[in-house]
Amino acid sequence: MLMNEFSLRVMGATMRLIVVSGVLATTISASYATDFSEDFSAGKLDSKWCSCQIAEDRPVTFDSDPQEAGDKHAQITVDPSIGDNTCEENECEPAESAKSAVATTVKSDDDFPEDLGPSFIEGLSDHTVLKLGTPVIQRQEVRIAEDLQHDSAATHEYAITFRISKPNTSTRTRWITAQWKQEPLPSYGKGWSPSPFLAQRYDGGVLYLTVQDENCRCLIASAEAPNQTFKWEEGALSKCKLTYPKKDEDQACTSTLVAHYGADPWLKSPSPGWTEIRYLIKAGREKGDFIEVHQDGRFIVRISGKIGYVPAAGTTMKTKFKMGHYRNYMPSKDVLEVDSIKVSPK
């Protein structure tokens, strides 16, 4: 009898939050078993993280919130001295016994050159003439450990609470603060660079999101941008640009992606206050694959269609999640602060 009462109480506690926008009703469980949860209260990165793309002399730091006793958040800092930090071969990979055998014809995301690709923000001022010794690319990123990666086609929710310093507006460049990539990957040809299938970008200090349909990149949501107006229209996405072949980069392309927007789909700036963005993701090329975005409890957009890349025969795509800074050179110091991140199967 006591067990029955306890079960009833647990069932009552697992209430579900239903967010309704227009004709769309989205259900997000308020109680679930989490794959991954990090609030940085320990004040250090543990084995759940790989920090091989963090400069040794600019490690991730942790600060306390004066309004919450014992609460800490991570700080990922980039400054003019930072270059393109890369991982050594096999660095941060799981033990050999935990690896699956993968044909040598398919590769890790780290095996390809990386390119920030076309931007959707006007008026950027990428440095085309650099002083000797100045890095072209700056990278300060952490990633979730490889043995915690999940099947890209399995629905997962990523909830990230973060804020970022307001950048120097005199230098406006391409900038990624969080990215979801797939691996193992086949190659699409010489010079091909695998873009993230979902990216949280901060070009020119404007928060915006892109989704990739193979080599066609589409803008799906944005904060308001200076001297620029985006139209958030139902149906096929119209603001899309090629990322490959390189000779055609930045040209318009047509994707399979379709959007359904909330009543107020503009993103809120992550500077200077905290914001939480929830991404519900089922990435793949099949019917029923989708990405849904909520910010601070507000429904932004649901994208359906073919998301990401075509897997090589006999392989299963895994999702590699990275956050921090990946940008063209900027002569400024900027800090991404992350209060918490949760990754949950749905």
Other CB atoms within a 10 A radius of the CB of residue 341 amount to 20
What proportion of the chain, given as a percentage, has pLDDT over 70? 79
Q: pLDDT band for 25, please (50, 70, 90 cuts).
A: very low
pTM value is 0.85
pLDDT at 14: 40
Q: Is residue 173 part of a domain?
A: yes
Q: Is residue 169 part of a domain?
A: yes
Segments forming the whole domain that contains residue 154: 36-345
CA angle, 184 as apex, 278 and 111 as ends, to 5°? 105
Q: Is residue 2 part of a domain?
A: no
Overall average pLDDT of the 247-271 stretch: 96
CA 63/CA 337 separation, integer angstroms: 9
pLDDT tens for each residue of 86-117: 887 667 765 443 444 443 444 555 656 577 89
pLDDT at 88: 77
Contacts of 189 (CB under 8 A, 6+ apart): 244, 245
Q: Is residue 192 part of a domain?
A: yes
CATH number, residue 75: 2.60.120
Q: Is residue 51 part of a domain?
A: yes
pLDDT at 26: 40
Q: Is residue 311 part of a domain?
A: yes
Which has the minimum average pLDDT: 33-47, 123-137, 162-176, 201-215? 123-137
Count of structural domains, the chain: 1
Q: pLDDT band for 231, please (50, 70, 90 cuts).
A: confident
pLDDT tens for each residue of 116-168: 899 999 877 655 444 555 668 899 999 999 999 999 999 999 999 999 998 87
HEC string for 270-331: CCCCCEEEEEEEECCCCCCCEEEEEECCEEEEEEECCCECCCCCCCCCEEEEEEEEEEECCC
Which residue type does 2 have?
Answer: L
